[in-house]
Amino acid sequence: MLKLADIKKSYRLGPVDVNVLKGVNLTVEQGELLSVVGTSGCGKSTLMNIMGFLDSPSSGVLYFEDKDASYLTDRQLSIIRNQKIGFVFQQFHLLSRLTALENVCLPLIYRGMDKHQRFRIARDMLAKVDMSGLKDHKPTELSGGQQQRVAIARALSGSPSLILADEPTGALDAKVGQDIMNLFLDLNRNHGNTIIIITHEPGVAKQCKRAVRMRDGMLYED
């Protein structure tokens, strides 16, 4: 469903060009649970931004659901992010002004879905991550693990083809991190979600069916 062919990305930093990705090839199949492991600064965040349509590659071709999606307009990228991708971030990135339920609704607002339907879906998603009881709490009233569950519910609310998780356990202690990891495993195994987890923890990578290692802008299968 996602195929990267010789993806390169370079940034201009003052007078020099910094090559962050130096020709990445990767194929992700429907229903896979893949981890991308690497030390910080190796380019895995850039890779995630490109796979999440937050950024465009400098060269190379990106196929999404068998279509060339390398060079899209901002509007097209927004639509793909809204309908095809679910993001889970290390720092959760919930809006503190909104309740858990409203945070989960957020992606659906940009689809123009009516309030009634939005809230129904959001309630279902919170139930899926075992957060129904805390739906009216604001993020500041929740623990890190609880916030990450809400963030996962938000990623799931748009029923995306692909869930991209950037260090999802990075800000959590070991036990809570494992709970979140179990949630991902469950979503993949029992609900068939395609999930890519970006991590620097080998323990997380080990639990995924497939792991690739990123080093110095290149990707290697484990």
Residues that bind other proteins (CB under 8 A): 49, 52, 54-55, 74-75, 78-79, 81-83, 87, 89, 93-95, 97, 106-107, 109-114, 154, 158
CB nearer to other proteins: give 105 or 211: 105
Q: Report the SS3 class of residue 115.
A: helix
CB nearer to other proteins: give 107 or 168: 107
CB nearer to other proteins: give 82 or 178: 82
Mark out the alpha helices in the chain (DSSP H runs). 44-51, 74-83, 100-109, 115-128, 144-157, 174-191, 202-207
- In the bound complex, what is the minimum distance in angstroms from residue 80's beta carbon to other proteins? 8
- In the bound complex, what is the minimum distance in angstroms from residue 167's beta carbon to other proteins? 13
- In the bound complex, what is the minimum distance in angstroms from residue 70's beta carbon to other proteins? 17
- In the bound complex, what is the minimum distance in angstroms from residue 64's beta carbon to other proteins? 15
* Helix (H) or strand (E) segment spanning residue 33: strand 33-37
CB nearer to other proteins: give 111 or 206: 111
- How far is residue 202 from each of residues 16, 56, 106, 147, measured CA to CA in Å? 33, 28, 33, 23
The angle that helices 115-128 and 144-157 make with each other, rounded to 10 degrees, is 130
- Match 């991308």 to its residue by tokens: 36
